Amino acid sequence: MEIYGTIGSYSVGLNYTVRNKTDLVTAHYLYASQLKDLRLTGQVRGEGIELKGEDGSIFHLHLVGNRSNGKEPLTFYNSVGLTGI
């Protein structure tokens, strides 16, 4: 899956592969101005995701919903994006 966003004023892209709705298989991100993939490792804990980059970056993210999930917990499959620091 691909997500686009910003880190500060910089445009970035995030690509990730998930298995069984919660298992993070692979992830990487790139700054649009550099077009260099930076590999990420991490863990999914409920609706929270922590990613660590090979460049020393750390992302504390959580899934964002639009309430269409009802009472079900948010997953990569029913969320509309990620937010965090």
Tally of residues, the chain: 85
Q: Are 8 and 32 in contact (CB under 8 A)?
A: no
Q: Are 54 and 37 in contact (CB under 8 A)?
A: no
Q: Where are the domains of the chain?
A: 2-84
Q: What is the pLDDT along the chain (85 residues), one digit of tens a residue?
A: 677 888 889 898 888 888 887 788 999 988 888 888 899 999 889 899 999 998 898 999 999 989 888 888 888 888 888 889 8
Q: Are 33 and 11 in contact (CB under 8 A)?
A: yes
pLDDT of amino acid 81: 85
| Pairing relationship of beta strands 58-64 and 81-84 according to DSSP bridges | antiparallel
Of 4, 49, 2, 3, the residue nearest 23 (C-alpha): 49
pLDDT of amino acid 51: 93
This prediction's pTM: 0.78
